[in-house]
Amino acid sequence: MFYIFFVVYTFVFFVAMCVVFVLTAWWDTGRGAIFQITRVLARGYFWLTPGWKVEIAGRENIRPGAAYVIVANHRSMLDIPLLYYLPMRNFKWVSKREVYSWPLAGWVLWLQGGIAIRRGSAASARQMIGQGEAWLGRGVSVAVFPEGSRSKTDGLGKFRDGAFMMARTAGVEVLPVVLSGTGSALRGRRINFRNRFRVTILPPAAAEQNVVREAMERELSLRA
């Protein structure tokens, strides 16, 4: 029943997004209104689940008005809504192209103006970097899971270069974010109603993969 409730909840928000998109797309080219509705939708998964608590640390590491390439660890599908706790007015996702065909979740990404990438395609990677650079040039951050897919452990998988190439090309810093608690929240169809989540925003760094990875690994070891 709990999962059915959230499917209905998501569908209602999706209908609202479609209405807002029709009313605002002609002037809100950054899709900021859609982002704000998505933020409420995403946070609602945590607000409405009994016993779930979210803690945010490092808010001061985000400079108002600055655009970043956001990189975060990826353990669970819950990482996506959890990242909407970042105190930002707008950001765009980089996601695998096939995700955009998913019912509701993929459609929401499209409405937000997300960036699609086809795995294994150099041409698609170049296009992704170009689209990301365009958003960053407009002051809109871009969020990437540099591992490319969900990790099967609490540690970090191998990073891909795309996020760091994008940051270097656009001349912006990387904002490392460490998410914890998502791996223990869902166990198959079972929900852990006593789960705690934490979003840790680390200081912005130059687009150097090793530096960013080491900072994230240190934080993950503290969370463990």
* Residues 224, 211: Cα–Cα separation, whole Å: 20
> DSSP 3-state assignment of 142?
strand
* Residues 131, 183: Cα–Cα separation, whole Å: 31
Taking only the tens of pLDDT, the chain with its 224 residues reads 677 888 899 999 999 999 999 999 899 999 999 999 999 999 999 999 999 999 999 999 999 989 999 999 998 989 999 999 999 999 999 988 888 888 888 889 899 999 988 877 788 888 999 999 999 999 999 999 998 877 777 778 889 999 999 999 999 999 999 999 998 888 777 888 999 999 999 999 999 999 999 999 999 888 76
CA 66: distance to chain centroid?
Answer: 17
* Residues 45, 162: Cα–Cα separation, whole Å: 30
Q: What is the pTM of this model?
A: 0.94
Q: What is the pLDDT of residue 23?
A: 95
* Residues 53, 45: Cα–Cα separation, whole Å: 11
Range of the domain at 219: 2-223
CB 186 within 8 A of CB 78: yes
Q: What is the pLDDT of residue 224?
A: 66
Rg (Cα) of the chain, in Å, rounded? Answer: 17
Pair of tokens at residue 47? 């607000």
**Angle formed at CA 106 by CA 104 and CA 111, multiple of 5 degrees:** 90
Task: Indicate the number of domains in the chain.
Answer: 1
- For the CA atoms of 54, 37, 150, 8, the dihedral, rounded to the nearest 10 degrees, stands at 90
Strand (E) or helix (H) holding 178: strand 174-180
- CATH classification at residue 13: 3.40.1130
